[in-house]
Amino acid sequence: MTEDLPDQTEQGKKPRVRADAQRNLDALLLAAKAVFASAGVDAPVREIAERAGVGVGTLYRHFPQRADLIKAVFRRELDACADAATQLAHTNTPGDALAAWAQRFVDFISAKRGLADALHSGDPAYEALPAYFDARLRPALTELLSAAVAAGDIRAGTDPDELLRAIARLSAPGPDGDTALGRRMVGLLIDGLRYGANAGADKS
């Protein structure tokens, strides 16, 4: 099938994924996320392919090993969470952007829950993911936190690494995957950081 062939229109440039192949890839990652969440990372790949509306061969062309698919789902969710920081900063006050991103992080933790068995298995295939997590999420949170402190929306003195760990722990979904409690706890944490902030700091 031709839908999975790269399109390289100029010599020497990186192959560009065809639009139909990108749609298949996106559908596979969304399907895998849902199937892993409901049935675990050992779910049959045929179930993922059927949910995505593609053949098993298409799945294996994109992801020859199950670990390749699991890593891709993790990176996709993590990238979306990190990228949301910039989007939220453009549409909210600094304090509200931080609060909204913390809630977005709850969604990431919920998605990660379906991958936990693989990510914590000790398989060397996943050993680079913690560094990727740090490289993408730590700068995103640090920038949001710094802006909120500079605006006087959040009190100074909060360590970004400690805040990231605190949000991660509070975000843990319940046994049934419910995120309501995590959202409330994260909301309380951010509200606590607002207490004592100087609303007039760095404002003209």
pLDDT in tens, 84-114: 999 999 999 999 999 999 999 999 988 888 8
Q: Is the CA virtual torsion 97, 138, 128, 87 positive or negative?
A: positive
**CB distance 85 to 145 below 8 Å:** no
Q: Single out the residue of 34, 2, 36 nearest to residue 19, CA to CA.
A: 2
Rounded CA gap, 116 and 189, in Å?
25
CATH class for the domain made up of 19-64: mainly alpha
pTM greater than 0.75: yes
**Quick one: pLDDT at residue 11?**
43
- Does residue 151 sit in helix, strand or coil? coil
> Domain-by-domain residue ranges, the chain?
19-64, 74-194
Mention every residue, 6+ apart, whose C-beta is less than 8 A from residue 25. Answer: 17, 62
Q: How far is Cα of residue 48 from the mean position of the Cα atoms in its chain?
A: 20
Instruction: Using 50 as the pLDDT threshold, list the residues of the chain that sit under it.
Output: 1-14, 200, 202-204
**Quick one: pLDDT at residue 177?**
75
Q: How far is Cα of residue 161 from the mean position of the Cα atoms in its chain?
A: 17
Which CATH number is 74-194 given? 1.10.357.10
Identical fold for domains 19-64 and 74-194, yes or no, is no
Q: 22-35, pLDDT tens digit by residue?
A: 899 999 999 999 99
CB contact burial 75-87 (16+ within 10 A = b; e otherwise): ebbbeebbebbee
